[in-house]
A and B are shown apart, each in its own frame.
Chain A
Amino acid sequence: MILGTGDLIMMIFFAILIIIALCVTFVQDLLYVVIIFGVYSLIMALLWLHLNSPDLAITEAAAGIGVTTLMITLIRRTVRREN
């Protein structure tokens, strides 16, 4: 099996995606989790673009980076977490 350049890019993206998902689970501070989750959405948008679906890429960029980050930040401000 011969890997092309596109497959290599996709493998790198998937590796970054797995690392980010693990980071979201293990990082304690919720603000860092929100920021890392924004990076997850960005990588996912690039991945959708690479898979020839720019429609989903635009929606992922708008919904993931904008709305999810804003909403989680707001919820984090209103909810106090007990240690």
Chain B
Amino acid sequence: MLDFVLKSVVTVLIPFIQMFGLYVIFHGALSPGGSFAGGMILGLGFIALNVVFGLEKGQEKFSDEMAGFLVSLGPIWYGSIGLVGILRGANFLVNKDSGLPMGEPGTLISGGMISLITLGIGIKVASTIVTLFNALTEEE
């Protein structure tokens, strides 16, 4: 009975947890939060899946190979976004001169490349936390 309640609640909650994590990541420039907190919330969604449904089901959704790939993809994504500035003839990681749309202040598309960069860090943090959890759980 307890198992049924846990599984039902987590099944309903996980999409909202993931959505809130992505919201915190993308609004990092506008509101409290940012890439670290958002990525942690995103990773905790996967950890909840691993805890309640078992490691096999969790591996189906977010495998170790996928986590290792994403751990490397985050910094590569960060550096590639930074190189856009050099390709446009300005400095590394420059924001306004790289040609990304600056948008209106106060709306979601307002920071230039900041939302894209925080997406990279969020992916890195989320996959690192899931990798840590899997490494600790498989110890036994």
Contacts and interface: CB of A to CB of B under 8 A. Distances in A.
Interface of A: 54-55, 57-59, 62-63, 66-67, 70-71, 74-75, 77-78
B22 interface: no
Contact of B24 (A57, A58, A67, A74): A58
Interface of B: 24, 32-34, 36-37, 40-41, 44, 47, 51, 129, 132-133, 136-137, 139-140
A54 B132 CA distance: 27
13 contacts: A55-B37, A58-B33, A62-B37, A62-B44, A63-B40, A67-B129, A70-B47, A70-B133, A74-B133, A74-B136, A74-B137, A78-B136, A78-B140
Q: Binding site of B, secondary structure by majority: helix, strand, loop or mixed?
A: helix
A57 B47 CA distance: 21
A50 to B, nearest CB: 14
Contacts, number: 40
Contacts of B37: 55, 58-59, 62-63
Contacts of B137: 74
Nearest to A61: B37
A66 B32 contact: no
Contacts of B139: 78
A66 B40 contact: yes
Contact of A66 (B33, B36, B44, B132): B44
Given A74-B133, A75-B136, A67 B33 contact: no
Contacts of B140: 77-78
Nearest to A59: B37
Contacts of B33: 55, 58
A78 B136 CA distance: 9
B61 to A, nearest CB: 18
